[in-house]
Every structure is written in structure tokens, then in C-alpha cells.
Amino acid sequence: MGQANKLQPSSFLAFFIPHSSLVIPHPVSNANISHPPFPSHTTLLMPRVSISPIHVGDLNFLILDCPSDAVLPAYMPVLEENHVTDLVRICEGSPYNIKPLNDVGIRVHDDMKFTDGTAPGKDVVARWLELNDQVFFNSPEKGRCIAVHCVSGIGRAPVLVAISLIEGGMDSLDAIAYIRKVRRGALNRNQVAFLDGYKKRKNGFAAKKAAGITNGATNSSTSSSLPAASGPGIEKKKTGFISKMFGKK
């Protein structure tokens, strides 16, 4: 809100127009970005920054909502601190200028778009997994990260990340639960059904791990670092899983 001054004897309120934030807290990095000071009468607003980190084994992702040109500077330190090398934009159009990203070495991919509220087709899945292979297994650099966003970051982007977790050896139901734990409201009924029935590649991430291939190097450890399914009643398939999660239609 802006600063209000009550005018007597009338009941009108006079406001100063609020400006952008002076300090932007980052939920992931806890870093702050300082801006030039504003007039003392200004009441500061905090821009919305929504970033969810996913770090499982050799797989590192940031799920974002779609930034604008005005808010992108608030995302940049978090992307750099998490060693993001590639950013996938699933939403339609070009909502912001990618030059600030390219200037710090982040490649932007616009070739994996699919309709909001749906699951990706085979071509999109193939391109996504090819990018995963390049970033996590065919590079000598460790700790690399892929950022991905749709519009709000609760549908299409989480679906792609969940596919990667399943390819890495995580059970589909565990992947869904994990994504929802870190990204509240993620995945609709259709997307959950798609993930529940997803069949991973024969020569996917798990095969690379078994061969000891990690970040372009040979690893002596062949055990998967992905969380294993645990707890009573965890099976590959659950009868009525979709109905239990969303209720019967």
C-alpha cells in the first residue's frame, strides 16, 4: 500500500503511488538485491518471485513461474547461484527479453512447448530428455542445473521435471508426491494420470548410472542416489490412485 493521508472534514484518502521494492528477498538463496533509494514517503512493494529447487542425485532443476522483463533481474542471482546453464520456456510467445540470460551464459530453449493443462507429446519428451543427457551426463562439469517454467510453474514445467525423476529411477507416484511437496498445487488430474502410466527409456538415466557415467566421467559407484520408495502400500501401481487423489467424477 502507499502512504495515506486523511483529509478533513471529508472522508477521502490521498495516496502516494507505490514504487518497486527496495529490497527483494529470495526464497531460495536468501540473498537480497538492493536498488537505488526511493523518496522517503514511498511505501515499498515486494515483487512476486516463485522458484522451487529440485536436487535429486545428479539431477538439478529450478521450477519457476514466468518472469517479466521488470522482474527478471530478481531471478538472475538465483539462476547463477544454482549454476543454471539452460532455461526451458514452455509458455507461448516470448514474454521477456532473453539477452540478460544469454549474457551470463544461460541458453534459452523455446522448442518444447505444449498446450497448458496437458501432458507433453513424444517429440517434446524426447527433446527434454536429450537436454537432460547433455547437461547432466555428457558434460564434464558437475552441479549443472536446468531451469524450466510455463506460466505459473504448476503444470507443464513440473510434468517435465517429474519425467526426469522417473527416468532417474524414482517411482512415478513418489515423483508426483515429491514434486507436489516442493511445488504446492502442481500437476492436474490429466498430468498425474500421464505420469502414473509413463514408461521410462530402456537406456535412460538409470542405465547411465549403472554404467557409472555421470557428468561425462566414469563413476566407480553404481548405486542410484535417487530416493527409494518407502512406507506401507507403495507399489508400482495403486488401484484407484487417480480417484483417491482427485475424487471420483
Q: Active-site residue 116, yes or no? A: yes
Sequence-distant (6+) residues with CB within 8 A of 233 are none
Note whether 165 and 157 are within 8 A (CB).
Answer: no
In the set 58, 86, 150, 196, the catalytic residue is: 150
In Å, how far are 10, 17, 43, 46 from 2, measured between CA atoms? 20, 6, 5, 13
Phi, psi of 60 (to 5 degrees): -130, 120
Q: What is the DSSP letter of 216?
A: T
Note whether 76 and 49 are within 8 A (CB).
Answer: no
Sequence-distant (6+) residues with CB within 8 A of 167 are 129, 132, 200, 201, 204, 205, 206
Pairing label, strands 59-64, 145-149: parallel
Note whether 144 and 133 are within 8 A (CB).
Answer: no
Pairing label, strands 32-34, 59-64: unpaired
Q: Active-site residue 145, yes or no? A: no
**What's the number of CA atoms in the CB half-sphere (13 Å) around residue 90?**
30
* Beta strand spans in 81-142 (E): 84-89, 107-109
- Report, as residue numbers or ranges, the catalytic residues: 116, 150
